[in-house]
Structure 1
Amino acid sequence: MLSRHHDPIAAIATAPGRGAVGIVRVSGKGLEPLVRLLCGRTLKPREATYLPFRDAQGQAIDQGLALYFPGPHSYTGEDVLELQAHGGPVVLQLLLARCLEAAHTPEASTGQPLLPGLRLAQPGEFTERAFLNDKIDLAQAEAIADLIDASTEAAARSASRSLSGAFSQQIHLLRDALIHLRMLVEATLDFPEEEIDFLRQADADGQLAHLRQTLAGVLQRAQQGALLREGIKVVIAGQPNAGKSSLLNALAGAELAIVTPIAGTTRDKVQQTIQIEGVPLHIIDTAGLRDSSDEVERIGIERAWSEISNADAVLFLHDLTRTHTPDYQQADATIAQTMRASLPPQVPVLDLWNKSDCLPPGQTLPESGIVLSARTGAGLDALRQQLLALAGWQTAAEGLFIARARHVQALHSVSDHLDTAALQLQGHSPALDLLAEELRLAQNGLSAITGEFTSDDLLGVIFSSFCIGK
């Protein structure tokens, strides 16, 4: 544990701005003297007390609730003091300054500061201490941030399940089964003349097969949970006046982008996050793709291509009322060719045929892609379902937990090690030392998810993304 983890810390724990209630939080060891000075009395543990908060001269800053949680029965595992006042930014700043000032007040008996070293908390430091003091594991800590940042109801519910330990429990079950298998394998290393029979009698092959099957289920759920958290980036692209801005507005259900008959109206990207069945989709409307002498439009087109090259999926929008003209067909073919050259093979491009409401009866429609009308909404339901398919979404089972990209990567790594271990075990003369090493690496991969085996650098990256006061 780094030396900074021993410092007492303080911060405003509510969001910036005005609100009905604001909270100043202090965490550290031996807070009782500071509590008495700030509150003018001893507080009963875990009981809200209404009282005035006074400055060093005895003048009231505000009146509110004070709660004291002696460690280890607190959020951080240390002593925690929470001062709940009216949610004005000036009031909270005064309270925070008073906490820092009071910490350096000399005790009457010793002449030493009441709480030496009290400092402002860094982002995520309260939750980091909860993790370091074994109040929560790393997956639960990340779920706290995911719950705060959730952009859909489904993501919030899944993050809540992860916070309650649902994801961690699955990882622990896998780890325990893996440890048992490791024990069998490593025990045979002491008795090489009996190693094959011993492993066969213990059904090591069956245990490993069951472990891989269970892991596959957890990985599938983690991938769905990561999709709930991250969503996918979908870029709408096409020639000017194909209806890209109208399509964005139709999907978002709001007039976000300006729509006019004038080609080149959209000069820069317009982005909106929508949700379909709880999955967040980050939809980006871009400038119409064409050759242009207008400097501002040209910059917008360059940005459009930049967005396309970084997309998870591209909606290539075509204007049905112009597809019969040679110039339009040639321009679409050029755009399609450029897309194929700039996009990775795994990024899907979905052809959308817009303005179906403007076609005369009996006109032949394209056989591939989706025919729709951004103006009337025809075909939008089919598009929404296709977007879910492009995202890789499957109907979520009850109890889905949130997950991050690092969790999915770790589970993939564990799966690779178990696949290699299976090949070793199924060989005619398995090299048990190599088999044991693959199982050890797989266990380390699982432990990295919950933080039992991780680096300080990773912790720094994870907790720095939290808000201050959490």
Structure 2
Amino acid sequence: MVDQQTTRGLDQGATAPDTIAAIATPPGKGGVGVIRISGALAADIGQQVCGRPIAPRKIINTNFTDANGVVIDSGLCLRFVAPASFTGEDVVELQGHGGPVIQDLLMQRVLELGARQARAGEFSERAFINDKIDLAQAEAIADLIDSSTAQAARGAMRSLQGEFSAHVRALLKELIALRMYVEAAIDFPEEEIDFLAEQKVQDQVQRLTTKLSDTIAQAGQGAILRNGFNLVLAGKPNAGKSSLLNALAGEDAAIVTDIPGTTRDTVRVTIELDGLPVHIVDTAGLRDSDDTVEKIGVERARSAIAAADHVLELVDLSDPDQSALPEFDVPTTRVYNKLDLAAERVPEGVIAISATRGDGMQELTAMIKAWAGFEGNSESLFTARRRHLSALDAAQAAVERGLQQLQTQRAGELLADELLQAQNALNQITGEFNADDLLGEIFAGFCIGK
């Protein structure tokens, strides 16, 4: 049985790609503005802009000129010769001043000389196509840029350095070796006497499912680290939601008064709990109202609740009316606030806090991590995406189906087929075999200049 051929790139067999360019620094005014050029014309374009040849892997301090020799800007120019560059192509970087007008004039000159405006993520896409990085590493670049906490940034860097890919490739190596053994025994039965009855084959498949489970658990933690945990504070007016938000954030992120209905709109704050990014949304108090603005706030609160990972329903212990809100379609936990104002003894078994005084806040933050399913140890985590988890789940399901076929029917052909399905699923993570539309969707989410 012949192994399936894999491919990484887009437009296989196409002519050499054209030269692309983009402003690689954020828009607006800044100390430095960088224009990145990649492709066969990069060195020629750089030479014409700088007015002199650019030695490879050297930095020159020079003027940048237009077609008439008028100086547009001055700065540094760097040249990297293929394949020793990020994209694997010839690359030139022009590092000038960060004014938007200057950058636009310089970019216009680069485009006049034969480059075209790069698409979002096209530099990283070319790095992937030229085998400089795999797909998981390419996605980690975007995750690193989008990191909302220091731990998430470190996790993205570990993925960029290949830690997640190494886990996947180790699984692939073991899976392919097992599949080759199964297929060889099927194709050459005279070499084996009922290999399917051998316990070692079942043991190998069992070990593979265990390793897949371990990787899924690690990737699941990495996905939480990347995406964060969406927590919505809901409750009746004046339950202390804004005070709780401020207590969790450690700052006055929301206005707090004794007037019910003070919060009219959602207030969003991201905090870090032992490396876990928690996106907290403070909402308007849920009640019927004739006030047009408050009604809009309540509708936005309900929309935020629908998108939440978890809802913290806050109840005022000092309010005689402690009836529950209507049930939400997301996991919800009731927390009783204003412990410092409670006139009566708090019933046992309830979660009680004082957002203003700090009672119970340490226990509450531990609960939030538990609700998220975050186990900590973020120093060893790599970031992962939902599509990675889906691919790992698909691989594990295929291996488990193959094991069942082996145990119940001694069906070696079906086992081999399921192992191939698992292999294809894992290849989707690193990009060894991908549909062009998936690659386009992934890289379209990158920054221009990346």
Match of 1:86 among 78, 87, 97: 97
Matched position secondary structure for 1:316: strand
- Asked if 2 retains the 8 angstrom alpha-carbon contact of 1:68 and 1:82, the reply is yes
Match of 1:172 among 127, 151, 169: 169
How far off is 1:136 after superposition? 0.3
Give 2:111's aligned residue. 100
Amino acid paired to 2:416 = A
Is residue 253 from structure 1 mapped to residue 253 from structure 2 by the alignment? no
Matched position secondary structure for 2:48: helix
Give 2:433's aligned residue. 453
Match of 1:20 among 31, 47, 52: 31
User: Aligned equivalents of 1:4 and 1:155: distance in 2?
Assistant: 39
Matched position secondary structure for 2:253: coil
Match of 1:357 among 340, 343, 353: 340
Change beyond 3 A, Cα 1:395–1:31:
closer
Give 1:422's aligned residue. 403
Match of 2:219 among 212, 219, 222: 222
How far off is 1:197 after superposition? 3.0
Query: Once structures 1 and 2 are overlaid, which stretch shifts more, 404-413 or 441-450?
Result: 404-413
How far off is 1:257 after superposition? 1.4
User: Aligned equivalents of 1:437 and 1:201: distance in 2?
Assistant: 19
User: Aligned equivalents of 1:369 and 1:432: distance in 2?
Assistant: 55
Is residue 432 from structure 1 mapped to residue 412 from structure 2 by the alignment? yes
Change beyond 3 A, Cα 1:348–1:312:
same
Deviation string, structure 1 residues 158-181 (Cα, Å, up to 9, x no partner): 111111111101100100100001
How far off is 1:31 after superposition? 3.1
- Asked if 1 retains the 8 angstrom alpha-carbon contact of 2:249 and 2:269, the reply is yes
Give 2:5's aligned residue. none
Give 2:156's aligned residue. 159
- Asked if 2 retains the 8 angstrom alpha-carbon contact of 1:351 and 1:368, the reply is no
How far off is 1:191 after superposition? 3.4
How far off is 1:367 after superposition? 2.3
Match of 1:442 among 416, 422, 444: 422
Match of 2:84 among 73, 84, 95: 73
Matched position secondary structure for 1:24: strand
The gaps in structure 2 that reach 5 residues or longer are 1-9
User: Aligned equivalents of 1:102 and 1:301: distance in 2?
Assistant: 56
Matched position secondary structure for 1:203: helix
User: Aligned equivalents of 2:128 and 2:422: distance in 1?
Assistant: 23
Give 1:55's aligned residue. 66
Match of 2:119 among 115, 118, 122: 122
Matched position secondary structure for 2:32: strand
User: Aligned equivalents of 2:223 and 2:162: distance in 1?
Assistant: 16
- Asked if 2 retains the 8 angstrom alpha-carbon contact of 1:350 and 1:369, the reply is no
How far off is 1:200 after superposition? 5.0
Give 1:32's aligned residue. 43
Deviation string, structure 1 residues 89-108 (Cα, Å, up to 9, x no partner): 111111111111223xxxxx
Matched position secondary structure for 2:62: strand
Give 2:273's aligned residue. 276
Is residue 395 from structure 1 mapped to residue 376 from structure 2 by the alignment? yes
User: Aligned equivalents of 2:111 and 2:266: distance in 1?
Assistant: 45
Amino acid paired to 2:371 = L
Change beyond 3 A, Cα 1:4–1:385:
farther
How far off is 1:30 after superposition? 4.2
Give 1:377's aligned residue. 358
| TM-score (ref. length: structure 2) | 0.94
User: Aligned equivalents of 2:255 and 2:400: distance in 1?
Assistant: 53
User: Aligned equivalents of 1:359 and 1:232: distance in 2?
Assistant: 31
Amino acid paired to 1:102 = L
Give 2:4's aligned residue. none
User: Aligned equivalents of 2:198 and 2:371: distance in 1?
Assistant: 46
Query: Once structures 1 and 2 are overlaid, which stretch shifts more, 275-284 or 306-315?
Result: 306-315
User: Aligned equivalents of 2:192 and 2:234: distance in 1?
Assistant: 62
Matched position secondary structure for 2:377: coil
Match of 2:209 among 201, 207, 212: 212
Q: CA RMSD in A?
A: 1.7
User: Aligned equivalents of 1:398 and 1:263: distance in 2?
Assistant: 43
| TM-score (ref. length: structure 1) | 0.90
Matched position secondary structure for 1:6: coil
- Asked if 1 retains the 8 angstrom alpha-carbon contact of 2:121 and 2:444, the reply is yes
Amino acid paired to 2:244 = L
Deviation string, structure 1 residues 16-49 (Cα, Å, up to 9, x no partner): 1121111001111243332321222221111111
- Asked if 2 retains the 8 angstrom alpha-carbon contact of 1:184 and 1:199, the reply is no
Give 1:463's aligned residue. 443
User: Aligned equivalents of 1:384 and 1:441: distance in 2?
Assistant: 42
Indicate the percent of aligned positions where both proteins have the same amino acid. Answer: 53
User: Aligned equivalents of 1:30 and 1:268: distance in 2?
Assistant: 52
- Asked if 2 retains the 8 angstrom alpha-carbon contact of 1:242 and 1:354, the reply is yes
Is residue 318 from structure 1 mapped to residue 298 from structure 2 by the alignment? no
